Structure 1
Amino acid sequence: MTTQEPGTATEALPQPVPLTGCRYKADPYPLYQRMREAGPVHRVLFPSGVRAWLVTGYDAAHAALNDDRLGKNHDRGNDRWRARASIMPEPQHSQLQVHLLHQDPPKHTRMRRFVTDAFTPRRIDSLRPRFQERADELVDALPETGPADLVTGFAAPFPFHVLAEVIGLPQELAARFDRDWGKVVQPVGPTDPGRPRYEARLHGLQSYIAEVVAHKREHGDDDLLGRLVVARDRGELSQEELDSMIFQLLVAGQEPVTNQITTALIALFRNPGPLARLRDDPGLLPRAVEELLRYDSAFELTTWRFFDQDSDLYGTEVPAGDSVIVSLCAANRDPRRFTDPDSLDLDRTPNPHLAFGHGIHFCPGAALARAELQIALGTLLTRLPGLHPTIRDEDIEWIPAVLGRGAHHLPVGYDRRL
């Protein structure tokens, strides 16, 4: 990877602004600050070669997330976008990418109603004791006095165990899920040396989804996965919609939470004052989680949006079919909306962050993610006294995902395991 950073505070931003390099992934906020100060919309360049329009300010981001001129369906993308867009190849794109994130009303409205009941705050609250049991089981399996990698030992398995509980993934199938399949959301080009491994991930995940569908059809379980299969058999969903929704649940339902646990812990390790307060007063957890979501969100950028005709976007003319992306992280550090936005303030209220998006594509699993983060952080800080990183801050290996933030590993030590 490169270590480039576009310009300095006194230099003009390049056009397009490259969103690349280890320094950018480790700390994108100085660049986002410069972009916000220069204006709400910028032409950017991703590592794949895709060029897009990035929305950075809070007000502009909030408006874009609610702008019904901007559609999510990939069919809106123009040839320039399609030529380099980092999306799945065919036939997998047509089979796995027609989920909620890439749909517009009325299709989005029809599909979303199949999943909302499984993620209501009331249902999530009723399952909290089971989530706590899962968290405690994982901590019980950690070394008594450290060291440990909190990604492999906790942050990765915990959200998946919880997700399986919520959607009805059978234990025998859950045990065979390969976390490596989640990397299919980080596609590589056809000439990339990693292409064969990427395609193997795709085929492996597709085969797994087929097994899940067959199991649910055979057993007739009354859970989210079972109800989705019934909807397919009744003709209410197509096979591609069914497979895509299961794909979205399995991938988007766990990896972002894994990453959010790591970004939250890293933020706390960098801010010993708030960390000490949270250790001493677990009652701060709900408010602390909201601030940690704002401070460094695992959903750094949204997925593509498109105008169906040449349109004005906050004074910038955007051609039809060009991709528009909203930077949730940049919006959440906008000083025009948040006082002292670069400080981690556990007393911040109100806290109208955009970590879960806004509008019709607001994350349906937000209540679940909040519960997971509260339980994860509360359990780790309570049961691992003296929890601290055993890696230098500059040595943290940030995942190279285009849209998300998180660390590959988080080595820690602690005094003992309670």
Structure 2
Amino acid sequence: MSHRNAHEPLPDPVPLTGCPYKSDPYPLYEQMREAGPVHRVLFPSGVQAWLVTGYDAAHTALNDDRLGKNHDRGNDRWRARASIMPEPQHSQLQVHLLHQDPPKHTHMRRFVTDAFTPRRIDSLRPRFQELADALVDALPEHGPADLVTGFAAHFPFQVLAEVIGLPRQLAARFDRDWGKVVQPVGPTDPGRPRYEARLHGLQSYIAAVVTHKREHGDDDLLSRLVAARDRRELSQEELDSMIFQLLVAGQEPVTNQITTALIALFRNPDQLARLRDNPDLLPGAVEELLRYDSAFELTTWRFFDKDSDLHGTRVPGGDSVIVSLCAANRDPRRFPAPDTLDFDRSPNPHLAFGHGIHFCPGAALARAELQLALGTLLARLPGLRPALADEDIEWIPAVLGRGTNHLPVGYDRRL
């Protein structure tokens, strides 16, 4: 959708589909923000939902305790079309933190927060730097190279394994393709058998992780979760779901955020040069790159338990409400010149990690990973530049996320 038709009335529902939308959703988000904070939207799966687009409206919705996340709150109309996992996997893998409300959410979240404190992440930074350098060491001495398959697809998972205590031999067996189970396909889709195979592969892997940790427990997050299950503080389904969430949410969004950040830098070569010459800018630059193009584009579902008012729009109980973090992060009422990449932007209260009780517990880890990844690539690959035209970037078709599976680059040499 281009700026040319910005004054035409929006369709109802607004379709969130197609290549122009995935490659650049921001013109559509601008149009939606100007027309009002809440719009009915249509996803490729056929699910209709209510999308919140402005910063203030998003901030309020993320803190609205009328909006719950448990799938049991969804109505039959949502359930008929929602691309959620089939049974029994839905009950076994979908009872993680993102789908819980207090007090259950509060109880479960306290098991993971200690592993991701800023102090602990800082203490691990030298190890993360070693991992980043080893991946760059393996790139060709001179370009071209693919920074997804050569770096971004591996670095976040290697870091995650260190943080949660996933042993090396098990980490090596993880198939990144399993992460696609968060992009489910309907029962009649020809890709359904492959999707179910991914689910079974991931479940077997989680079972192997639990068995290993039960036999070789240590003072790490995975061991503590298994011990909590054995003390009956977590159910088996909650344990499996939390490991599922750590493995999938702890990797793919960071992989994608590295790619969206690099693409933003390639589109703003003056800022890329400035960051390469001034590594001290990295913490602020990462915050601005998170705001400018967040890899976690939309939040997961929320539901009212009865018909409710949402910023002047009547939303039926059990319909899904979704917040567009990307649209909120480009709201000119909150961020002056929002389409400009400005590393000196301050304050920068972006919503890339959400807000409220579901604020991403891994935010400190993601920030450290992004700073180390971008700092290492810019320092060690002088002349770093894209090796494909901007319009040839293939954006992943995921509904909630932004990123690409291939990012060919050139550089003068590897330092």
TM class by shorter chain equals over 0.9
Tell me the equivalent position of 1:202.
Answer: 199
1:380 matched residue in structure 2: 377
State the Cα deviation string for residues 341-369 of structure 1 (Å, max 9, x = none). Answer: 00000110000000000000000000000
Contact 1:6–1:14 (Cα < 8 Å) also in 2: no
Tell me if structure 1 keeps the 8 A contact 2:2–2:27: no
Quote the residue 1:297 is aligned against. 294
1: CA distance, partners of 2:136 / 2:302: 40
2:128 equivalent in structure 1? 131
Q: Does 1:61 align with 2:58?
A: yes
* Pair 1:276 & 2:273 matched: yes
1:325-356 per-residue CA deviation (whole Å, 9 max, x = no partner) reads 00000000000000000000011000000000
SS at match of 1:113: helix
2:291 maps to 1:329: no
* Aligned with 1:190 (options 187, 192, 207): 187
- What one-letter code is carried by the residue in structure 2 that aligns with 1:120? T
Within 2, Cα distance between the matches of 1:310 and 1:184? Answer: 31
| Alpha-carbon displacement from aligned partner over 1:155-180 (angstroms, at most 9, x marks no partner) | 01000000000000000000010000
Contact 2:384 2:412 in 1 (8 A): yes
2:220 counterpart of 1:223:
yes
1:88-110 alpha-carbon deviations (Å, 9 max, x no partner): 11110000000000000000000
Gaps of 5+ in 1: none
Aligned to 1:253: 250
Partner residue of 1:88 out of 79, 85, 90: 85
Q: With structure 2 as the length reference, what TM-score do the two structures score?
A: 0.99
Are the aligned partners of 2:210 and 2:226 in contact in 1 as well (CA < 8 Å)?
Answer: yes
Q: 5+ unaligned residues in a row in structure 2: which ranges?
A: none
Cα distance in 2 for residues equivalent to 1:372 and 1:62? 26
Distance 1:140 1:22 in 2: 35
Whole-angstrom distance in 2 between the partners of 1:6 and 1:66: 32
Counterparts of 1:147-158 in structure 2, within 5 Å, are 147-158=144-155
Task: State TM-score, norm by structure 1.
Answer: 0.98
Q: How does 1:14-413 map to 2 (within 5 A)?
A: 14-413=11-410
Deviation of the 1:5 alpha carbon: 7.4
Q: Distance in 1 between matches of 2:201 and 2:405?
A: 22
4+ residue segments displaced more than 6 Å: 4-7
Do the aligned partners of 1:5 and 1:24 also contact (CA within 8 Å) in 2?
Answer: no
Query: Separation in 2 of the partners of 1:224 and 1:9?
Result: 49
2:115 partner amino acid: A
Counterpart residue type for residue 77 of structure 1: G
How far residue 222 of structure 1 moved from its aligned partner, in angstroms, is: 1.6
Identity of aligned residues (%): 88
Q: Secondary structure of the residue that 1:42 maps to in structure 2?
A: strand
Distance across 1 between alignment mates of 2:3 and 2:388? 27
Number of equivalenced pairs: 415
Paired with 2:371 and 2:353, the residues of 1 have a C-alpha distance of: 16
Distance in 2 between the 1:5 and 1:108 partners? 41
| 1:10 CA displacement | 2.3
Q: Specify the code of the residue in structure 2 equivalent to 1:328.
A: L
Distance 2:194 2:383 in 1: 40
Q: How far did 1:35 drift?
A: 0.1
Q: Secondary structure at the match of 1:116?
A: helix
